[in-house]
């Protein structure tokens, strides 16, 4: 019998392509073949300048590319515009491909943010799985939308009727209506588009036979207890490292010197600073952060993506900053973040609290300083500071600025807090157990649904 073959579709953003590629690695280790769908734009971006940009098979993965419907120069950070374009252009390409190739595949795994594609797969007779790259608690909030409207907690546009603390169910962590993930997108037009998209996701997910999620049981126990049909399989990680770590999913090329630079530092000495793939700063805040890092007086590794300092955003370092911190600060365009967080030199993580960054730090026992920006990041921050208690939050001043003094003092507070450091280690231990042979995520990944051969066909 030939090996099982999964067709995998991520939402075309960095924080989605990475975990779905990691899931692909996990499945390859379990004997699967993979066909991975990227937008043409992202495929060229990942393999830009390499001989691979035209390649179809790389390291056992077949790459299929589909247009996202935007012009080459259009801004892919415009979530509303990208989503509208994707859902108009992609379905017909996907349908044609699935109709012609359905017999090839054992199952279709769609990012839950692409849940519309599940119906197409179901109609051609494929088994369907939805993968959630965000917290299970986030998914619980999305699944609660009809009830929140019915209970008049939010209106038909998703806007909270008032500021209040709600319980999605009695066991789950209380949720402040001001941090519902569709309410934090900075402009009401985008919020409306995304809220409607979440309603569509909610409906479309009913076409999934299984929902899996990049989390683990001990991390969000009340959610998994209430919603046992969401199966945690995380934390996922880059299990290709040992095979030479080919870049099959990063939009920027990583700085190759990070690890040798970290090797020169003692254990728990370096502050790692990174804000994921889509967060932007204004210049004043950027400079204040730089001065805060200088004030701390410790070594730091700071990811400053090339698009933060380009002409349109134009963040600039304070005058003389680079020279003053040259002996202890390293700024890079993109880091091998998982290897960095695993490195013993790392003391703490100044993070925007994107879910991947969150779970990667949890997995490595690294405590957080939270600097959330939008969407589900404030929701994740609550987990970090109030539920797991493995980090502290920066508090902006009355003008919304996080001052250099705040950066300096909070980092010192965190590093002195033995309870936070101990809880971070304890959470890491739970994470290790969940992916070990016999652990809950391990078992879920090897699950046969209803005794039929399914994910692990
Ligand atoms: N990442 C990385 N190098 C960097 C910054 C980020 O490899 O310098 C990776 C990080 O490990 C994570 C992803 O990019 O897997 C970012 O996802 P996350 O959900 O944290 O944030 P998003 O980019 O979606 O806001």
| Residue 380 near ligand 1, beta carbon < 6 Å | no
Of ligand 1's listed atoms, the one at least distance from the Cα of 277 is 23
pLDDT of residue 168: 85
Question: For each successive 10 residues of the chain (457 residues), what is the average pLDDT?
Answer: 91 97 92 95 85 70 94 86 91 96 95 97 97 96 94 92 87 86 77 89 96 97 94 88 71 94 98 96 96 97 92 88 97 96 98 98 98 93 96 96 98 98 98 95 77 46
Residue 288 Cα to ligand 1 midpoint, Å, equals: 22
ipTM, interface predicted TM-score of the complex: 1.00
Residue 325 Cα to ligand 1 midpoint, Å, equals: 25
Predicted TM-score (pTM) above 0.90: yes
Residue 26 Cα to ligand 1 midpoint, Å, equals: 19
Residue 162 Cα to ligand 1 midpoint, Å, equals: 33
Whether the Cβ atoms of residue 38 and residue 26 lie closer than 8 Å to each other: no
Q: How far is CA 83 from the centre of its chain?
A: 17
Give the closest residue (by CA) to ligand 1 atom 7.
Answer: 337
| Residue 214 near ligand 1, beta carbon < 6 Å | no
pLDDT of residue 56: 77
For the chain, give the number of residues: 457
Of ligand 1's listed atoms, the one at least distance from the Cα of 332 is 8
Whether the Cβ atoms of residue 100 and residue 122 lie closer than 8 Å to each other: no
Other Cβ atoms less than 10 A from the Cβ of 203: the count is: 12
| Residue 351 near ligand 1, beta carbon < 6 Å | no
Terminal CA-CA length for the chain: 11
Structure tokens at 188: 């009401």
- Helix ranges (H only) for 134-282 are 136-143, 145-150, 188-204, 221-226, 258-263
Structure tokens at 118: 């599940």
| Residue 334 near ligand 1, beta carbon < 6 Å | yes
Residue 448 Cα to ligand 1 midpoint, Å, equals: 31
Whether the Cβ atoms of residue 362 and residue 340 lie closer than 8 Å to each other: no
| Residue 113 near ligand 1, beta carbon < 6 Å | no
pLDDT of residue 455: 56
Query: Roughly what angle, to the nearest 10 degrees, separates helices 355-363 and 418-435?
Result: 90
Q: Which residues contact 321 (CB under 8 A, 6 or more apart)?
A: 290, 291, 294
pLDDT of residue 247: 80
pLDDT of residue 457: 44
Residue 69 Cα to ligand 1 midpoint, Å, equals: 25
Of ligand 1's listed atoms, the one at least distance from the Cα of 305 is 8
């Amino acid at each position: 019998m030939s090996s099982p073959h999964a067709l995998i579709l991520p939402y075309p953003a960095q924080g989605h392509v990475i975990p779905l590629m990691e899931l692909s690695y996990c499945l390859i280790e379990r004997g699967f073949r993979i066909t991975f769908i990227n937008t043409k734009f992202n495929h060229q971006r990942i393999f830009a300048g390499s001989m691979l940009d035209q390649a179809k098979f790389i390291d056992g993965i077949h790459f299929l590319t589909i247009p996202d419907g935007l012009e080459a120069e259009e801004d892919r950070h415009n979530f509303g515009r990208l989503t509208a374009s994707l859902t108009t252009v992609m379905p017909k390409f996907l349908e044609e491909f699935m109709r012609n190739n359905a017999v090839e595949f054992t199952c279709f795994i769609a990012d839950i943010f692409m849940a519309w594609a599940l119906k197409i797969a179901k109609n051609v007779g494929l088994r369907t799985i939805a993968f959630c790259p965000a917290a299970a608690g986030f998914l619980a909030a999305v699944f609660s939308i009809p009830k929140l409207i019915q209970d008049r907690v939010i209106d038909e546009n998703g806007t909270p009727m008032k500021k209040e603390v709600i319980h999605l169910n009695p066991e789950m962590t209380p949720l402040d209506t001001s941090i519902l993930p569709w309410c934090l997108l900075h402009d009401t037009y985008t919020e409306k588009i995304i809220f409607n998209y979440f309603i569509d996701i909610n409906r479309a997910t009913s076409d999934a036979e299984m929902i899996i999620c990049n989390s683990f049981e001990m991390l969000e126990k009340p959610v998994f207890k209430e919603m046992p049909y969401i199966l945690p399989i995380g934390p996922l990680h880059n299990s290709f490292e040992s095979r030479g770590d080919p870049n099959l999913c990063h939009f920027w090329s990583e700085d190759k010197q990070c690890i040798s630079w970290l090797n020169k530092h003692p254990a728990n000495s370096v502050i790692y600073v990174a804000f994921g793939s889509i967060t932007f700063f204004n210049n004043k805040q950027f400079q204040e952060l730089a001065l805060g890092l200088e004030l701390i007086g410790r070594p730091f590794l700071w990811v400053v993506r090339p698009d933060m300092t380009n002409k349109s955003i134009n963040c600039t370092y304070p005058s003389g900053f680079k020279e003053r911190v040259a002996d202890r600060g390293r700024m890079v365009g993109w880091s091998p973040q998982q290897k960095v967080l695993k490195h013993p030199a790392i003391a703490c993580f100044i993070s925007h609290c994107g879910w991947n960054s969150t779970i990667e730090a949890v997995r490595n026992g690294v405590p957080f300083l939270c600097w959330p920006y939008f969407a589900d990041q404030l929701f994740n921050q609550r987990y970090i500071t109030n539920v797991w208690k493995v980090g502290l939050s920066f508090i902006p001043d009355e003008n919304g600025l996080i001052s250099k003094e705040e950066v300096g003092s909070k980092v010192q507070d965190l590093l002195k807090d033995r309870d936070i450091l101990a809880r971070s280690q304890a959470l890491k231990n739970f994470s290790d157990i969940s992916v070990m042979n016999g652990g809950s995520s391990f078992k879920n990944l090897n699950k046969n649904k209803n005794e039929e051969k399914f994910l692990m066909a």
